[in-house]
Amino acid sequence: MRYLAVMLAALSAALPATAAPPSRVELTFAIMMGGLRIAEAREVLEHDGQRYLVVSESTPKGIAALFINDVRRESRGAVTVTGLRPEHFEETGRKGGTRMAKFDWAAGVLTLVNGKSARTVALPQGTLDQASLAYALAFRSAVGAGFNVHVTDGRGVKQYRYREVGEETLKTPLGELRTRRFEKVRDPDDKRGFEFWLATDRHLLPVKLRYLEKNGDEFDSIITGITAR
């Protein structure tokens, strides 16, 4: 399974959200495929209003552990008036070795490390990484019905567009949660899909993610716990 978290960022500059997440938030998810629970994920966000750290870990369960590796992602950087600004991203557990992205905002350069290879590319304004994506909108004062975002996974940088599907009430292990649902806008030849649900009463934190792979496999990550302080 390619556990992507391709999401978020806003259209224009804005002040930080008036109800930013608590200084430390831990979320747990059950990862489902066809009604079977194949993995679990744990994500931790820490921030002090100026700096942030996100750590994301997924662990396969049962027979899936024979085919899927544990994956760990980490993103750290600054909290600015326009939201999260990553400075370093790192992912371990994938075949091919560690993936890394180093952000030089002053020079407008992004250094990408994929295993033993490294290269530099232009750094578009507002670029996020796969670990910081899910939390970007929680640090903004407004979320539009559609937005573009550049995302890096350590191998390259791609631009995505998302549109809001609408408001939904999800039934979860935590009870019913009011959410806003977004989906990736795909070209006719784009076989990968992605959707996410943000809890409106939980600081716009992600409570459900849906991934569609090229081969048609679909995975849902569903919230099972949220703790904050």
Q: Sort strands 128-129 and 146-152 into parallel, antiparallel or unpaired.
A: parallel
List the domain boundaries for the chain: 24-228
pLDDT of residue 1 exceeding 60: no
Query: What kind of fold does domain 24-228 have according to CATH?
Result: outer membrane lipoprotein receptor (LolB), chain A (2.50.20)
- Read off the pLDDT of residues 108-131 as tens digits, 9 standing for 90 and up: 999 999 988 999 999 999 999 989
**CA-to-CA distance for 3 and 6, rounded, in angstroms?**
9
pLDDT at position 191, please? 84
- Read off the pLDDT of residues 49-108 as tens digits, 9 standing for 90 and up: 999 999 999 999 887 776 778 899 999 999 998 889 999 999 998 887 899 999 999 999
SS3 letters for the chain? CCCCCCCCCCCCCCCCCCCCCCCEEEEEEEEEECCEEEEEEEEEEEECCCEEEEEEEEEECHHHHHCCCCEEEEEEEEEECCEEEEEEEEEECCCCCCEEEEEECCCCEEEEEECCEEEEEECCCCCEECCCHHHCHHHCCCCCCEEEEEEECCCCEEEEEEEEEEEEEEEECCEEEEEEEEEECCCCCCCCEEEEEEECCCCCEEEEEEEECCCCCEEEEEEEEEEEC
